[in-house]
Structure 1
Amino acid sequence: MESEHGGRTETRAGGRAGGADQDPATEAFVAHRNLLFTVAYEMLGSAADAEDVLQETWLRWAGVDLATVRDRRAYLVRITTRQALSRLRTLGRRKESYVGTWLPEPLLTAPDVADDAELADSVSMAMLLVLETLTPTERAVFVLREVFALGYAEIAEAVGRNPAAVRQIAHRAGVRIAARRPRAPVSAAESREAFDAFRRAAETGDLRGLLDVLAPDVVFLGDGGGVRQAVRRPVTGADKVARMLVAGMGRAAAASLRTAEVNARPALVLRLGGEVDTVLAVAIEGGLVTGLYAVRNPAKLSHMRRETTLRR
């Protein structure tokens, strides 16, 4: 079983990281670019939209008088958050007319992302779907507070609320997230063992093996965006999901199936003719597969060509 590999992402706005002749504004932007992308991506669940937000952030940052900026990192995060909030509301309207199930855009992540447990959890496909249940402001507050550990006053400036209101929003969002996120901690070894068992069973069409590793209430979601064939509604239950996977792998006999680190979790990548056809993200809890997220929309697969570096 091979693994996907790719190069590090480059800075679109402000030039390449490590440029020799950067002005102070460009230097600050490049230094925090991976952090800003991570903030935008966690808020939006879309790498393409996160890149657009960074472009907008750069345009605004380039016009700022740096002599008036006390904390450049905080200022950049504030601009990024405001731009992401605006785009999140637009994205919400686009999702209303989306064909079939909308899933976050998968990222081929650098190996070191998985070493940061909190960051890895926050960008997992399962967690990004949980964040979809929050309002735009709740999502921004939760991400900035729980993932990036910003203070209430700093968050208040970013979302246009007062610190007391931000505290209330953070509490409300935290309660909603806690009710939906996995409660049983899973060790890396346990997750890898379950994933490997799932991979072997899926690759060989082993129905019994799939039933052994799938949780009784496992959910399969597919996103074809109206361009590629995908299940339009969630498929629930180990037997239904296992039989669907066996049938699907039988039809994809000519495909190449590989493992990859997608959103800081092991995933399967199906290639046809050398091109990524499907990314199957896997959620594991208690040693069993609880969620499967198949992204087939070609517009969402461009960030599978190279590793994306995420930072807190």
Structure 2
Amino acid sequence: MALITLENALESIGTKGYGIGAFNIANMEMVMGAIQAAEELNSPIIIQVAEGRMKYSPLHLIGPVMIAAAQNAKVPVVVHLDHGSSLSVISQALELGFSSVMFDGSQYPLAQNIEMTKKIKELAKKKGASLEAEIGKVGGSEGDYENIEVLITSVKEAKQFYEETQVDALAVAIGTIHGTYKVAPNLQFNRLNEIKESITCPLVLHGGSGLTDDDFKQCIAKGVKKINIATASFESVVKKVGAMFGNSRDITYFQHSNAVVEATYENVKHHIKIFGSDNRI
């Protein structure tokens, strides 16, 4: 249907009470599987790649694949840079035609995060792209996972950040982590609701893999409109490919390729139904 911006995708939700899945991909097959699921369910979708995984999926190679897939899709697709931290990579994504980028300045003091976010918003605006930012700190890290402590988002800081930056979407930390949960997360739903009541900005949930259906639905009810899924998709691919080779060693490359598409399709389809974005076009 079209390559659209994150701002347009999230605006379309309005008060309808659903969320849009943002699915990290690593290769062409994963792009194909994600788009297939969205088209089958008549759902908008966000496909994204994180700066921390550029050594596996170089942006100059995977970016054009993502954009071409969006332009030829039967549903609205946002092509998004996830967890951009360097100006060079963010600029590269914008030059390639990404319709949305994230600047993750959560490692900086609030004032510096605000200042840098405002500068990057101007760059995105010139390219007609949307900007997501982060306040607080989600545990783990995008890329090869590290043990980074969660820093729950402050309502006061979220309000100040949004008032000064006017970003199109704001990622907040409520107790989720990137990667695999070793124990059940203690999600701060009250804090999420307080943030929702303080600002009008669409909220983003990172670290979605491993949460329960009810967790997702509570987050959506409390203002989350974009939900990131990465690890669940990658693990789905590994599981399906592993099972395929476990049953037979006589596997062709193209059977392997089809398995990657199918595993991604199944995981994306599963989450789209949980988020309630099916049949929203």
Same fold (TM over 0.5): no
Richer in helix (by share): 1
- Report the TM-score, using the length of structure 2 for normalisation: 0.26
Structure possessing the higher radius of gyration over alpha carbons? 1
